[in-house]
A and B are shown apart, each in its own frame.
Chain A
């Protein structure tokens, strides 16, 4: 993996042909992603959405023993404040770059910030996260980091986010994993082998259910998710294999571990739903040598779940699933297990690695597929035409579905994964359908979108990019 030598990893667009705008069906998208270079599309009207900075901030907040210095004007730390208060993220400082700093540079301010971080928290590691202003004014972050690393004898790691390099916010995870690999793990001569599988996650991965399943299946794992420790990351180099809960989020780390340290990446889709969890657990158990115990555990859990799910069926209910790709594919499969009909998938992005899943869906019912990171204007339009009985997504987007009159279930408050996730998700969907009074009430209140727009095709503002 040569890009570890580079200052930055390549964007998902360049590395995997990631698309962030699309409107069609699964078969057509699979065809396109299988081409050498998928055709990039742009929007001629867009609405705000997460970027690489926001995702990097969230992942850095999960690294135990760390302090993050956000080198930016004051607003770029807003989401970190939310992360700290709502998810208990790690400590942080912000350099509050002003107008003159944006012109003359703010290297000195950054050095002082590193000193302050070290004095205040005595962390194991300090991250310096750059932001749009720094990407433009070109502060010499690297020399400040090197100088302070030598002084304090702890890793001082730059994460070069810009907020405008990629349209995929998940690139923020790549930036953090790249920085960890390049500055923290690369110098490691190689950890001692451990008889365990790396369990890898990213910023928003809930872990309770899947850890219960791994324990039940007798799989030894090295926990590199939830609250990630540097020692677990170092140990990951000696693991027998790696498996991710959401391989799209963790793809950079998975590929680097395999390329640089021979730790095999178990390509398995997210453990969501009955079949999804079974496949995932068997893959993990296969690498960990506990297949027999895993099979027994799986049968027991499936039997228990089958009985509970009888009362939560979605027979014949039309559903749209609007989530990041791995979660969307997993939940869509679970919707079908419950008897529901997936009429559309709305993804935050899709790239060549999603081709096989899309091909699989194309051979089933070939539902519509939209690629819409955020973009409530397109969602509202598409929902008005599709009129599904149930919308499944995250809260921030579910509000727009509810306003469009669609019964909505938001998955933010539940742990999606494993057999426990099955028991949490099914009642969530059933409740949304059982009483859809709120969405009926909201739809009577009118839309902030003009009728003229809602009567147009939902992909009206998606155009092919001119190179």
Chain B
């Protein structure tokens, strides 16, 4: 953040907060900013997240004060008051979250006072300060979540009676999968929830269709928080110091049996779950993974899957897939480009852990968000397979290598339930890698110029009839 970039993919703090809030069932975001802020989020983030759409309350349907010059000059508080009063009458929702963009923050509107007026009318409403100039979309996720938790008493369902929080020893909150910035967020959350279910742990995924209405009421009852991104560490630390919930952190979500096994052993130990049951579930899923890898093995050798690859995307989304492709699949990592803005100590930790895990690997890990610089790095690298965002497609085309769109922005795929996280997510990744390699086989030629595509395809060629 802060330096000029080409092809910026990390958008702003307001957008991160908007997409976080609108992914919670029953939550209504209200943007206090210029009219274009919501449209920029819709067109520039949602629609590039596997063609995400308006959904229940997003798209053009997001309430927005649509700041005008008059509000810049005289202040926008009264316009906000009017908007809030009318939003609760028009938009159906359980609670309302006022998110402030750059303009009202510079003007200095008294947004907390306006929000308080709504609270005094018994509406569940809070304000979170989210000016775009204060950070990226990732910071917006952090700001939205910490804002919600700090003011949770103002949005929680109440039946008039304050009851003590009863801990659920088997409940974990999953944090760090950022809605829409992680293009597979719904599938990833489901994959993690399903994986945890097998060891008897319940997971609050909090966002999307997998999060039932109970989840937000039990967030403080959890026994453990699991963080999959550096951007959820602040949230975990807040929950630890204010609600006494410990946390464990992973640099990215797990993909496949090996990594998911590590996660489950860690969670099982923290929750004091029966170790035999944990191991039995992991063993069962390892067998399942082995079955599918055996099924795919012929294609692996026939089409030359053992390629040198590069992977580009958010830390949370690239590290797990990179590890799975390396071990057990045996591909050769060449370059990993992490595109989210991370503190130096987190960068150091990612590099250190990778080196500890793969001491002989010559893979470079680069932290860079500038699309032009990333393209130059990729072109200079000797790679045979590229996984990245739609921005990186061009580099793959220039090099004539298979490309798999896996990270934000992702413009050329529809993504609804797909995900790579957890035990079964690995199979989806395997299928996607396979499709890309087989799809590219027609353009591959070996040293003698022989087309590697099976001769029977007939695509683009004339059909030869016998006797002609």
Binding site for B on A (CB under 8 A): 43-54, 69, 73-82, 84-86, 91-99, 101-102, 109, 112-113, 116, 120, 132-133, 136-137, 162-165, 167, 169, 374-377, 396-397, 399-400, 447-450, 452-453, 461
B69 touches A101 (CB 8 A): no
Residues facing A in B39-84 (CB within 8 A) are: 39-45, 47-48, 53-54, 56-57, 59-69, 71-72, 82-83
- Distance A282 CA – B411 CA, assembled complex (angstroms): 40
Question: Shortest CB–CB separation between residue A454 and chain B, in angstroms?
Answer: 9
Q: Which residues of the other chain, A, contact B145 by a CB distance below 8 angstroms?
A: none
Q: Which of B68-102 contact A (CB under 8 A)?
A: 68-69, 71-72, 82-83, 86-87, 89-93, 101-102
Closest to B9 in A: A81
Residue of B nearest to A375 (CB): B60
A78 contact from B44, B68, B93, Cβ within 8 A: B44
**Which of B1, B10, B39, B54 is within 8 Å of A49, CB to CB?**
B39
Sample (12) of A-B pairs whose CB atoms are under 8 Å apart: A47-B38, A53-B34, A75-B137, A78-B40, A78-B43, A81-B9, A94-B8, A120-B6, A132-B101, A164-B103, A376-B61, A399-B59
- Count of CB-CB pairs between chains A and B under 8 Å: 229
Stretch at the interface among B128-136, B192-200, B213-221, B243-251: B128-136
Contacting residues, chain A, for B93 (C-beta < 8 A): 448
Which one of B11-19, B420-428, B448-456 contacts A?
A: B11-19
Given contacts A54-B39, A79-B43, A136-B106, contact A94 B90 (CB under 8 A): no
Are B42 and A48 in touch, CB under 8 angstroms? yes
20 extra interface residue pairs, beta carbon distance < 8 Å, beyond A44-B82, A164-B71, A165-B68: A45-B90, A47-B61, A48-B36, A48-B37, A51-B39, A54-B39, A54-B40, A69-B4, A82-B48, A85-B409, A93-B4, A96-B2, A96-B5, A96-B8, A120-B372, A132-B101, A133-B133, A163-B36, A374-B39, A376-B60
Q: What residue of chain A has the Cβ atom nearest to residue B370's Cβ? A: A93
Expressed in whole angstroms, the minimum distance between the Cβ of B178 and any Cβ of chain A is 15
Question: CB within 8 A of A98: which of B2, B61, B103?
Answer: B2
Residues of chain B touching chain A, judged by Cβ–Cβ distance below 8 Å, are 1-15, 31, 34-45, 47-48, 53-54, 56-57, 59-69, 71-72, 82-83, 86-87, 89-93, 101-103, 106-107, 131-134, 136-137, 372, 390-391, 409, 411
Hey, which chain A residues are within 8 Å of B390, CB to CB?
85
How many whole Å from B165's CB to the nearest CB in chain A?
A: 31
Asked if A98 contacts B69 (CB within 8 A), the reply is: no
Chain A residues contacting B4 (CB-CB under 8 Å) are 69, 93-96, 109, 112-113, 116
Query: Considering only CB atoms, which chain A residue lies closest to B38 in the complex?
Result: A48
Residue of B37, B47, B391 with highest tally of chain A CB at under 10 A: B37
What CA separation (Å) do A74 and B101 show in the bound complex? 12
Neighbouring A residues of B43 by C-beta, 8 Å: 54, 78-79, 82
Instruction: Provide the residues of chain B in CB contact with A92, threshold 8 Å.
Output: 6-7
A448 to B92, CA, bound (A): 5
Contact A448 B56 (CB under 8 A): yes
Task: Verify B15–A75 contact, CB threshold 8 A.
Answer: yes
Contact A76 B40 (CB under 8 A): yes
Question: Bound state CA distance, A399 and B39, in angstroms?
Answer: 15
Assess whether A45 is in contact with B87, with CB atoms less than 8 Å apart. yes
Whether A133 contacts B35 by the Cβ 8 Å rule is no
A142, chain B: closest CB distance, angstroms = 19
Q: How far is the CB of A135 from chain B (nearest CB, A)?
A: 8
Enumerate chain B residues within 8 angstroms of A78, measured Cβ to Cβ.
11-12, 15, 40-41, 43-45
**A98, B1: Cβ atoms under 8 Å?**
yes
Q: How far is the CB of B12 from chain A (nearest CB, A)?
A: 3
Q: Give which listed residue, B45, B71, B133, contacts A101 with CB less than 8 A.
A: B133
Contact B72–A136 (Cβ < 8 Å): yes
Contact partners of A77 in chain B: CB under 8 A: 8, 11, 44
Chain B positions within 8 Å of A397 at CB level: 60
The residue in chain B whose Cβ has the minimal distance to the Cβ of A52 is B36
A447 / chain B contacts, CB cutoff of 8 Å: 92
Pick from B12, B36, B68, B102: contact of A102, CB under 8 Å:
B102
Name the CB-closest residue of B to A447.
B92
Known: A75-B15, A136-B103, A377-B90. A48 touches B60 (CB 8 A): yes
Q: Which 7 A-B pairs have the closest CB atoms?
A: A78-B44, A48-B38, A75-B12, A51-B36, A45-B86, A163-B34, A73-B132
| Whole-angstrom distance between the Cβ of A170 and the nearest chain B Cβ | 13
Residues on the B chain within 8 Å of A167, using CB: 35, 66, 68
User: Beyond A79-B44, A448-B56, is A46–B63 a contact (Cβ under 8 Å)?
Assistant: yes
Give chain B residues whose Cβ lies under 8 Å from the Cβ of A84: 7
Contacts of B36 in A (CB 8 A): 48-54, 76, 79, 163, 169
B223 to A: closest C-beta gap in Å:
35
A48-B42, A450-B91 given; A400·B60 CB < 8 A: yes
Q: Report the separation of the CA atoms of residues A48 and B99 in the bound assembly, to the nearest whole angstrom.
A: 13
Contact present for B68 and A453 (CB under 8 Å) = no
Residues of A within 8 A of B10 (CB): 74
Nearest chain A CB to B57's CB is how many angstroms away? 5
Q: Quick one: given A49-B39, A164-B68, are A453 and B90 in contact (CB under 8 Å)?
A: yes
Would you call B91 and A448 a contact (CB within 8 A)? yes
Q: Report yes or no: A99 in contact with B131, Cβ–Cβ below 8 A.
A: yes
Chain A residue contacts of B72, Cβ below 8 A: 136, 164
